[in-house]
Structure 1
């Protein structure tokens, strides 16, 4: 029994010694950041940092800032000395996580904008349809009562076409916006929202840097309306229009 006990103790000591040797191995890097332990070879930790950098959560960091992050990441992974590697790795992580607050503000502001647009879509739909019907009535009246006034008729015709395009583009946008459900539409966006987020990321980041956070929602609302309008133009058929609120003319 004593021999067995001594054997077990010997194995435990050997295992502990092996673990100590591993921990103090010059090829083993070790440091903590935000309660996360980074431990392993330089290749292993670098792989972990790279996976973090490419995480979908950080996808909307402005491209200009991603360039800075890539430089910091490259500096870290090239450090052959554990102490220097730790220093540069932490500098990279500091820079990366500094964007967390930006991403939260950005997503929340855009979510608020989408909610507001969804609530306002029906009112705007009626407004734009009314503008279109007024322009159409005005053109018909001008053609009857003032048919020789080509300048006036051309002006009203342009107003009619503009209002028609505005209404059809609005309805294209309305269909898209109404499909967005909850924060998931922002966190896991379709191609349109993903493209918009990428385009406006740097502008929003700059507004946050300049302490203009309260202006972000209004800014994004104006921008997303223009964005959807421009996206709708190649997609719409100007002749494909049905009136929903006002009797057909």
Structure 2
């Protein structure tokens, strides 16, 4: 009977000890060279306190997984990455998640470098994007000074032609309708151009893109993903022409609700 009781006590102690050991270890899965998955256990204490170490560019990363992950998170949330489009942010967040949940040091390092590559690639894109947009805005400002007269002359010619037909052939309704449409389109183009010209004249220096107003900020956010695709495809030379076309169209559409065709003042031609 004593022997039986001793056996029961021994089994209970063994079971408790086994449970304690189980709580102190964690099962880890790792891909092997054959395409399968290998499993092994490691002490939990080593997972949390183990020192991870790697270098990325000129930056050294050394510390526990928690410490390095905290450093990566702070970098991801840095203000210079605040304008990341949602599509890119989703990818970066997924890469960051893959990194922080990886307990195996060499795989953690691998995932961290993939994450950092993606993050710094976006930083390089921001530099190219801002430079291209700054260049485009400067070019448009210069162009607008020269084409202002052109647009006014187009409108006055269309208006003179319309007035002549109305006076000489008032029964030519189809011709008059067509000329009225031409004159109206020329008028809208001229007034929209002057609305845009006034906006662009306020843009000075690199602050155009570094501290954008509401319009430039909206445009940057709208076109960031398309510009990023050009950057990824190594077609940076196409970025400026693309942005020039898009920003003119963007500002033109923004001008339509703001303009007043009946308030046009001619700058170059005294009389129509």
Class of the TM-score when normalised by the shorter of the 2 chains:
0.7 to 0.9
CA distance in 1, matches of 2:260, 2:51: 64
Whether the aligned pair in 1 keeps the contact of 2:136 and 2:240 (CA below 8 Å) is yes
Superposed CA RMSD: 2.3
Map 1:90-239 to 2 at 5 A. Answer: 90-239=113-262
Cα 1:162–1:206, aligned 2, differ >3 Å: closer, same or farther? same
Between the aligned partners of 2:131 and 2:68, the Cα distance in structure 1 is 32
Secondary structure of 2:55's counterpart equals: strand
Instruction: Give 5+ residue unaligned stretches, structure 1.
Output: 1-24
Structure showing greater radius of gyration is: 2
User: For the Cα contact (< 8 Å) 2:49–2:64, is it kept in 1?
Assistant: no
CA distance in structure 1 between the partners assigned to 2:120 and 2:203 by the alignment: 28
Give the secondary-structure state (helix, strand or coil) at the position aligned to 2:171.
coil
- Is the counterpart of residue 65 in structure 1 residue 88 in structure 2? yes
Structure showing the higher strand proportion among its residues: 2
**Structure of higher RCO (CA pairs closer than 8 Å, 6+ residues apart):** 1
In the alignment, the residues of structure 1 paired with residue 64 and residue 257 of structure 2 have an alpha-carbon distance, to the nearest angstrom, of 53
- CA–CA separation in structure 1 for the residues paired with 2:69 and 2:262: 57
- CA distance in 1 between counterparts of 2:233 and 2:50 reads 44
Q: Tell me the TM-score normalized by structure 2.
A: 0.74
The 2-side partners of 1:141 and 1:70 are apart by 65
> Is 1:247–2:247 an aligned residue pair?
no
Deviation per CA, 1:151-194, whole angstroms, max 9, x where unpaired?
Answer: 11111111111111111111111111111111121122222112
Structure 1 residues 125-166: Cα deviation after superposition (integer angstroms, max 9, x where no partner) = 111111111111111111100111011111111111111111
Unpaired stretches in structure 2, ≥5 consecutive residues: 1-47
The total of aligned residue pairs comes to: 225
Rounded to whole Å, the distance in 2 between the matches of 1:94 and 1:109 is 22
SS of the equivalent of 2:263 reads: coil
